[in-house]
Amino acid sequence: MTTIGVLGLQGAFREHIRSVEASGAKGIVVKKIEQLDEIDGLIIPGGESTTIRRLIDKYNFLEPIRQFGKQGKPIFGTCAGLILLASEIDGSYDVHLGLMDIRVRRNAFGRQRESFEAALDIDGIAEQYNAVFIRAPYIEGVGEGTSVLATYEGNIVAAKQANFLACSFHPELTDDHRLTEHFVQMVEEAKKSLAS
Ligand code: GLN
């Protein structure tokens, strides 16, 4: 069975497990680097990117997660997870995993809109997708190999690049599992091609 790990250092990881299981895969909470060997794909959840980064360093996850991604294994970053995947963070010298060729802006929707919901069309994946945004980042620009999957009011809120998927919102907080299902498919395909 396809096993998907959810990085369980801080943030909304339990909800992701529920969404992974509703999408037909096995979900495990990843708290130790050895567990990366047991999983076919990894979700980095929302939360607070600076806090998650601090814990990534504390438990020596940075290089092992980079290697996991560089081997072609799929990683899905949601909200803070998107910030952790980015190669550039606006207004900051800090870069975390730097695996995805995207430039992000943190807390990009401003204080008036701390959290909100919007119906999005996600290219080739879902129409009228119910997206929950919480102190969300958006993507200001993407590199050549990265495709934009969704925008909201002209700002990029979902993108894909090879084995990496990222979104600004929280796909685990509703019963709309279409984006998680798409990630499960990516993981199943990568698993087949890495085995052959
Ligand atoms: N604002 C958070 C950050 O910068 C992300 C918010 C979220 O994950 N819901 O890390």
pLDDT tens sequence across 13-55: 999 999 999 999 999 999 999 999 999 999 999 999 999 999 9
> The complex's ipTM?
0.95
Q: Which residues form ligand 1's pocket by a CB distance below 6 Å?
A: 46-49, 79-80, 83, 106-107, 134-135
**Burial label, 67 (beta-carbon count in 10 A; 0-12, 13-18, 19+):** exposed
CB 82 within 8 A of CB 168: yes
170 catalytic? Reply is yes
167 catalytic? Reply is no
> What's the rounded Cα separation, in Å, for the pair 81 and 179?
15
Question: Would strands 147-152 and 155-161 be described as parallel, antiparallel, or unpaired?
Answer: antiparallel
Catalytic residue among 170, 177, 181, 182: 170
What's domain 3-195's architecture? 3-Layer(aba) Sandwich (3.40)
- Domain positions in the chain: 3-195
Question: Would strands 41-44 and 3-7 be described as parallel, antiparallel, or unpaired?
Answer: parallel
Q: Among 179, 163, 2, which Cα is nearest to 79's? A: 179
- CA 69, 73, 60, 97: dihedral to nearest 10 degrees? 30
pLDDT, one tens digit per residue, over 81-115 is 999 999 999 999 889 999 999 999 999 998 768 89
Please determine, for residue 69, whether its predicted confidence score (pLDDT) is greater than 90. yes
Average pLDDT value for the chain: 96
CB 32 within 8 A of CB 64: no
pLDDT mean over 156-183: 97
> What is the DSSP-derived secondary structure letter of residue 63?
H
Residue 46 assigned as binding residue: no
88 catalytic? Reply is no
- Which pLDDT score, from 0 to 100, does residue 196 have? 82
Residue 135 assigned as binding residue: yes
